[in-house]
Amino acid sequence: MTDINTLLADVEKLFSDDEVVTAAKLAKVNLPSGKVLGLVTLDNGHDHTRPNTFGPKSLVELNTAYDAALADPEIDAIAVTGKPFILAAGADLTSLQAGGADGIRTIAELGHAVFRKLGDGDGTTKKPSFGFINGLALGGGLEVALHADYRTIQDSVPAVGLPEVMLGLIPGWGGGYLLPNLIGPAKAAKVFIENPLNNGKVLKGAEAYDLGIADAMFGGADYLEQSLLWADKVLTGDVSVEREPIDRGDAWDEAAKNAGFFAWAKTGDASPAAKKAVELLTLAKTASRDEGFAAEDDALVAMSKTPQLVASLYSFDLVQKRAKRPAGAPDKALAQKVTKVGIIGAGLMASQFALLFVQRLKVPVVMVDLDQDRADKGVAYVHAELDKKLAKGRASQDATNRLKALVTSSIDYEESFSDADFIIEAVFEEMGVKKTVFANAEAVAPETAVFATNTSSLSITEMAADLKNPERVVGFHFFNPVAVMPLLEIIRGEKTSDAALATAFSVSKSLKKTSILVKDSPSFIVNRLLGRFMGEVSKVADEGTPVDVVEAAFAGVAPMGPFALIGLVGPAIAYHNNETLAKAFPDRFYLSENLHRVVEAKKSSFFGPDGRTLDPEVEALLVTGDVVKTAEETRRQALEAIADEIGRMLEEGVAQAAEDIDLAMITGAGFQFWNGGITRLLDREGISEKVTGKKFH
Amino acid sequence: MTRQLREVVFVDGVRTPFGKAKGQYAETRADDLVVKLIRELTRRNPDLPPERIDEVAIAATTQIGDQGLTIGRTASLLAGLPQSVPGYAIDRMCAGAMTAVTATAGGIAFGAYDVVIAGGVEHMGRHPMGEGVDPNPRIISEKLVDPSALVMGNTAENVHDRYPAITKERTDAFAVRSQELAAKAYADGKIQPDLVPVATRSAENGWGLATTDEPMRPGTTTEDLAKLKTPFRPHGRVTAGNAAGINDGATASLLASEEVAKELGLPIKMRLVSYAFAGVAPEVMAVGPIPSTEKALAKAGLTIDDIEAFEVNEAFAIQVLAFLDHFGIDENDDRVNPYGGAIAFGHPLASSGVRLMIQLARQFEERPEVRYGLTTMCIGLGMGGTVIWENPNWTGESK
């Protein structure tokens, strides 16, 4: 542990004019009992859209406020809270990145040294302390309150958590030690290991209270008043705080072990941060405060040296910033208002579209099919899904009535499309069929209506070619399941107008999708890369490497093994994608005869019901060679193929930048945050350089 | 159907500490002030099921922004009352909260309500007097109203003209009395039990907690007051020292029919006897309480001699003295504003009526020998309002 004065001197080297400083304002509050509370308000001077963060200067500010409160003889106790709606959103990641490993050690140690003044005092004086979690409290924003002796929380706080592991970090300002010692190791593991690995899930105020993170909970109407009055009663002894005792025996070891299993299963042992977080959880059982905090400092420094941290921060930036401002999207002022949506087709995909469009846009959605029964079935599906939501209490009767009334079926193009602004087709994946339905729609639709196609592989340009207004056609490629997967690839055909494209982006935004602009090309981004990847691993498997070895080779790269993925999308669709690509690029895309056989046999997966062991019937179909590769060789070969394909896609302008490829793979294929999607991993392992002659970044 | 008139009782009343305009509530919303009070009334009266509240009537003079949007309804939603509880907004300038009480009391007596919340708010820092008003030009062209009627300080000077016996020395002395009594009431803990602490936001200083009335100036002397400017007339009589200030604050009360209060086990602090409002020449607004009191007494079949406790709003000291002189009551009579008044605590316009009632309820509690008391106040554009109350603690024989 470095002396705080040394840290305060060292941290000055990390000062930057760019830091949005979170001020710590100390006010003396007279409580009804006559006691005086030193109330520290964290406030960076911006509204809630720019949450408080802790950079170097902010930590120094907080230290000054705590020192003043400890030194003031009139002040009986200290509390910390935030500006309206926000306690704090944690460390200032920019300053964390800027300081390098030495900087990170300084920031880590200083954060501990400052925060712990609430819990430990300054060495000479210790005063009772309170954390008032009045709003969003993430990472260091929660830790600042965890150091206090007592906490209250507002019941409606939208986000409480320690998401560091998701970013390749660990809760390093006391969270890793204090939280398990406050609420027990199993609940702590949920907060700082499981939730971050479940796409960064966070807790609501009431959930955090139920876990024991706060000792009292109050409503938003008079949260701070009630917190202050409650604190007064704690100080006078009128309220005594009871907490659930923590089992420090075998149950602790068991909880740490379970957390370890969870992390391993979720990350394929590939996230150093997850592993480190489990270590901290284990250590917290026996460590002293000093030891626990020192271990966090070491862990933060260790994490700062991992490439996974850089990659995670890169991914964070992609999904937080790039996803909100799609690169290459035309001026949104060009977009036209969509007041009615037409869907051509009423099958499962069309029905999923209808469900999504009606819920998000809340405009009439008409499903048109060749016969009325089929069209009605589509509507029935949407109605049933809306009713399920109603039954679960996730929608009101009125809102359900409204949405159900908006979805209709028809077989009449003219009646359906003459006033539609956005028409999307979800018919059979065949160029002739798609051209016909678009031609029929164009005969009756307004001249300005945008035509969207959900094709996963056909050419947008060709689909539009025979229309009177080819500029209205745009690719609008969803990922399955439509309601869940965030990605939407938006494809510009040769003639697609800026206006049509702008409308597509605007609709995508209303649908709450992450959209990426893609050039019209075979299978676009995600399916092309997955296709190359699947082709490569199928080849390895067909040549003789056992399926389970191939499957195991991708732990930590993809969210699941390639053959499990085939089961998820369906062998027929996987094969069809590969066929399209093999036709376009016969020299690179391998078509597996074995996969074809599985498709012919109408098997829905390579695996049996457990999802892991090869289905004996499938096994009997496979014809394999005798070249057996190791998992590592398989992985390497597949990654090299991916690097090659990405290089080509960037060269061809399919994607506008490596960033878009990573964003697509993270949001469309569930590729890992801590790999930065894929290109950071390829750079780090030297694969991109070897294959393409240069790094992607 | 046959209808029986029902007795109306004042169950409870609370208020925020009052603030100086641009002071402790500079960055606190008016509707939030009301919300804290509704929460506290339900918290203090746990025997009252919130869904039994039939109306939330909240007054504000300037119904704009955070005092707009039908503040009785929005405040009740923000306070978390059941959605089934309705609410509305009221305006009678300074007598807003008093009118909220009388209007809903009428509804209780009639049988339309069982339990109501009635109160008022004025954030004069955010909404200065006269914000956004658009007086009809006929007021000037047809001389319908003396132009001085629109500036309250001028109307107070006009009342001095009417009653030459009320000198500046007397009004200053009355102001000193108000400050002294208020300070004593604070020292004796008579005020604080009905104050609801409010968290105060300040971008500059961080959060704080308002627990006391900011406008108070204990230790004020007549010498201090003599030095103050008379902003409304050269060598006039009305100063910032012998008038209430520009203030922020809110009040709220719980009223019920007497039988419902008993059914629910709610306390009864006062019983409504009668009320009246009366108009006077707008330019002498401050004499309004005289006719409104005479009217209310007549309705109750009482005379001024029956009234043994007074809470008279101190918008201006001259207003209280004109009232007392009229009824022949000594200005140092300890039945009048015994805990101090608006000159010390402040007068956030539409909120003050219920503050008077809170303090009268305190008088009733401490003086069971008193049977009748009244709350009265002057109102802009030439009006007065008076509410007469009976002390449920009174044990004596009727006169």
* Global ipTM: 0.93
**Average pLDDT, stretch A507-515?**
96
Q: Do B203 and A221 lie within an 8 Å CB cutoff?
A: no
Structure token pair of residue B168: 């500046």
What are the phi and psi torsion angles at B270 (to 5°)? -150, 155
Fold exhibited by the domain A526-653: N-(1-d-carboxylethyl)-l-norvaline Dehydrogenase; domain 2 (1.10.1040)
Rounded CA-CA distance A377/A383 in Å is 10
Other CB atoms within a 10 A radius of the CB of residue B212 amount to 16
A41 to chain B, any CB pair closer than 8 A? The answer is yes
What is the distance of C-alpha B295 from the center of its chain? 19
pLDDT of residue A304: 87
Nearest to B344 by CA among B205, B236, B190: B190
Of A685, A672, A645, the C-alpha closest to A318 is: A672
What's residue A199's pLDDT?
Answer: 79
User: What size, in residues, is chain B?
Assistant: 399
**Dihedral class, residue B235 (left if φ above 0, else alpha if ψ from -120 to 50, else beta):** left
A29 and B209 in contact by Cβ < 8 A? yes
Q: Where are the alpha helices (DSSP H) in chain B?
A: 30-44, 71-78, 96-110, 138-141, 152-162, 168-187, 222-226, 258-264, 289-300, 317-327, 342-345, 352-366
The whole-chain average pLDDT of chain A stands at: 94
pLDDT of residue B399: 47
> Is pTM beyond 0.95 here?
no
pLDDT, average across residues B90-113: 97
pLDDT bin (cut points 50, 70, 90) of residue B397 is low
Does any CB of chain A come closer than 8 Å to the CB of residue B203? Answer: yes
Burial profile A79-101: b = 16 or more Cβ within 10 angstroms, e = fewer: bbbbbebbbbbbbbbebbebbee
Residues of A in contact with B202 (CB under 8 A): 27
Instruction: Name the helix (H) or strand (E) containing A618.
Output: helix A616-621
- Domain B144-191+273-389: give its CATH code: 3.40.47.10
Distance CA B337, CA B356 (A): 9
Looking at chain A, the whole-number percentage of residues with pLDDT higher than 90 is 84
| A462 burial type by CB count under 10 A (0-12 exposed, 13-18 middle, 19+ buried) | middle
The tokens for A615 are 């289905």
For residue A200, pLDDT beyond 90 = no
* Token output for A185: 């190791």
How far does B197 lie from chain A, in Å, by closest CA?
7
Per-residue pLDDT band for A553 (boundaries 50, 70, 90) equals confident
Q: Which positions in chain A touch B79 (Cβ < 8 Å)?
A: 221
CA distance A491 to A329: 11
Residue with tokens 């457990």: A610
Mean pLDDT, to the nearest integer, of A486-500? 97
Q: Which residue type is seen at A104?
A: I
Question: Which of chain B's residues have a Cβ under 8 Å away from the Cβ of A45?
Answer: 203
A472: CB partners within 8 A, 6+ apart? A448, A449, A450, A451, A464, A496, A497, A500
pLDDT for B398:
52
Taking CB atoms and an 8 Å cutoff, what residues of chain A touch B39? 221-222
Mean pLDDT of A407-422: 96
Question: B260: distance to nearest CA of chain A, Å?
Answer: 28
Mind telling me the catalytic residues of B?
A: 94, 347, 378
Task: Tell whether the model's pLDDT for residue A100 goes beyond 90.
Answer: no
Asked whether the predicted pLDDT for residue A215 surpasses 90, the reply is yes
**Are A84 and B201 a contacting pair at CB < 8 A?**
yes
Query: In 3D, which of A286, A271, A255 has the Cα closest to residue A191?
Result: A255
Q: Tens digit of pLDDT for each residue in A6-38?
A: 999 999 999 999 899 999 999 999 999 999 999
Partner residue opposite B206 with nearest CB, options A41, A221, A225: A41
Q: What percent of chain B has pLDDT over 70?
A: 99
Instruction: Report yes or no: A219 at the B interface, CB cutoff 8 Å.
Output: yes
Residues A416-434, mean pLDDT to the nearest whole number: 95
CB A175 within 8 A of CB A192: yes
CATH class (in words) of the domain with range A332-519: alpha beta
Q: Is the pLDDT of residue B101 over 50?
A: yes
The token duo for A84 is 């309206």
CA A162 to chain B, closest CA, distance in angstroms equals 26
**Token pair of A89, please?**
């959103």
**Mean pLDDT confidence for A153-177:** 95
N-to-C CA span, chain B: 36
Per-residue pLDDT, averaged over B156-181, amounts to: 97
CB of A671 closer than 8 Å to CB of A558: yes
Domain(s) of CATH 3.40.50.720: residues in chain A: 332-519
Q: Identify which has the larger pLDDT, A224 or A555.
A: A224
Which residues 3-42 of chain B have a CB within 8 Å of chain A? Answer: 35-36, 39-40
The residues pairing with A112 across neighbouring beta strands, listed in sequence order, are none
B263-283 residue pLDDT tens: 999 999 999 999 999 999 999
Q: Which part of chain A is CATH 1.10.1040.50?
A: 526-653
CATH of domain A4-305: 3.90.226.10
Residue with tokens 């994607």: A655
Tokens, residue A123: 């060495």
Beta bridge pairs of residue A216: A152
Given the DSSP bridges, would you call strands A514-519 and A487-492 parallel, antiparallel or unpaired?
parallel
CB contacts of A81 in chain B (<8 Å) are: 207
Q: In sequence order, what are the beta bridge partners of B19? A: B248
User: What is the C-alpha to C-alpha distance for residues A502 and A506, in angstroms, rounded to an integer?
Assistant: 6
Buried/exposed B264-281: b ≥16 CB within 10 Å, e otherwise: bebebbbbbbbbbbbebb
Report the distance separating Cα A598 and Cα A600, nearest Å.
Answer: 5
Quick check: B207 and A224 CB within 8 A? yes
CA distance A32 to chain B (A): 8
Q: Is B399 exposed, middle or buried (0-12, 13-18, 19+ CB in 10 A)?
A: exposed
The two structure tokens encoding residue A37: 């509370």
Between CA A146 and CA A139 the distance in angstroms is: 11
Is the CB of residue A383 less than 8 Å from the CB of residue A351? no
Note the pLDDT tens digit of each residue in A592-627: 999 999 999 999 999 988 888 889 999 999 999 999
Q: How many Cβ contacts (< 8 angstroms) between chains A and B?
A: 55
Q: What is the pLDDT of residue A309?
A: 86
Among candidate residues B175, B170, B187, the one with its CA nearest the CA of residue B217: B175
In SS3 terms, A473-530 reads as: EEEEEECCCCCCCCEEEEEECCCCCHHHHHHHHHHHHHCCCEEEEEECCCCCCHHHHH
Alpha-carbon gap, residue A587 to A665, rounded angstroms = 24
Residues forming beta bridges with residue B261, ordered by sequence position: none
Q: For testing the chain A interface, which of B37, B78, B209 should be mutated: the one with the most A CBs within 10 Å?
A: B209
Mean pLDDT of the region A53-75: 97
Q: Can you tell me the distance from the alpha carbon of A30 to that of B206, in angstroms, rounded to the nearest whole number? A: 14
CA B360 vs CA A15, A658, B276, B339: distances in Å = 60, 76, 17, 10
By percentage, how much of chain A surpasses pLDDT 70?
Answer: 100
* Nearest Cα residue in chain B from A47: B203
